[in-house]
Amino acid sequence: MPRDDEPRTAREEGPRAGRRVHVDPALCIGSGICLATAPRHFQAGEDHRSRARPDAPAADESAEDATALCPVEAIGLIAGPPVPGIPPPDL
Residues of this chain that interact with ligand SF4 (CB under 6 A) are: 23, 28-34, 49-50, 70-72, 74-75
From the CB of 55, what's the least distance to ligand SF4, in Å? 18
Q: Which residue type is seen at 65?
A: D
Nearer to ligand SF4 by Cβ, of 16 and 49: the residue is 49
Residue 3, phi-psi category: left (phi > 0), alpha (psi -120 to 50), beta (remainder): beta
Alpha helix locations (H) across 26-82? 33-37, 61-69
From the CB of 45, what's the least distance to ligand SF4, in Å? 10
Distance CA 19, CA 47 (A): 26
From the CB of 86, what's the least distance to ligand SF4, in Å? 15
